[in-house]
Amino acid sequence: VKQTMERLIQMGHRNIGIIGGYLDRSDTSQRRFEGCSLAFREHDIAFDPTRDYVSARFSYTEGYRAAKELTAGKKRYTAVFCMADVMAMGAIRALVDSGLRVPEDVSVVGFDGLPIGEFIVPRLSTVSQSVEELAQRGIELLRGNIEGKRICAREIIPAQSQWKESVKAVE
C-alpha cells in the first residue's frame, strides 16, 4: 500500500482521500492504513484521518456511500484509495453521479485485483496479491495444523500495483 501511495504522490497527487475498513475491527484495514500514513509522513503530506478517511464495510454500496461522504466536504481530492476493489467500484459510481470524471477529476485505486475491474469503465487500477501464493500458504498452514505441528503464522504476501485507466497524473 505504501508503494501505491508513493506512486500517486509521484504522479502529483497531494489531496488523497481513503476509503477503508473500520480500523478498530480489522487488522487488515489497520495495516493498509499504516502504509498510507507512512507514505504521507515521509512526503510531508498533510493527512487528517477525521476528514480524509471514511470507514466502510467492504461492499459496493458502502464504497458509494463513503465516496459521497468524502466529496461532500470542502476539500477537493485528486485521488481516492479504496482498501477493496468493490469499494472502488462503488466510489467510481458515486463520483460520476456527483458530476466528477474518473480519472480526469479524481483518480481511483482499489485493492484486490478482482477480474471484474478489467470490465468497468474506466478499467480499475488496483493492488493485487498472488491468489496462488495465498492459497498455497493457507494449505501449508492448514496441513501443519492438522498434522499437529500447531503452526501459527502471520505473513504478509507481497502485493503489486496494476496501473490502468482509473488513474491519471495531476497536471
The pLDDT of residue 141 is 77
pLDDT value at residue 169? 97
d(CA 35, CA 20) in angstroms, rounded, equals 12
Which pLDDT value is given to residue 105?
98
Alpha carbons 166 and 105: distance in angstroms, whole number: 10
pLDDT at 143: 79
User: In angstroms, rounded to a whole number, what is the distance separating the alpha carbons of residues 43 and 164?
Assistant: 24
pLDDT string in tens for the chain (171-residue length) = 999 999 999 999 999 999 999 999 988 899 999 999 999 999 999 999 999 999 999 999 999 999 999 999 899 999 999 999 999 999 999 999 999 999 999 999 999 999 999 999 999 999 997 667 767 877 877 777 788 776 666 666 678 899 999 999 998
Return the pLDDT at 8: 98
Q: How many CB atoms lie within 10 A of CB 143?
A: 11
| Structure confidence at residue 159 (pLDDT) | 80
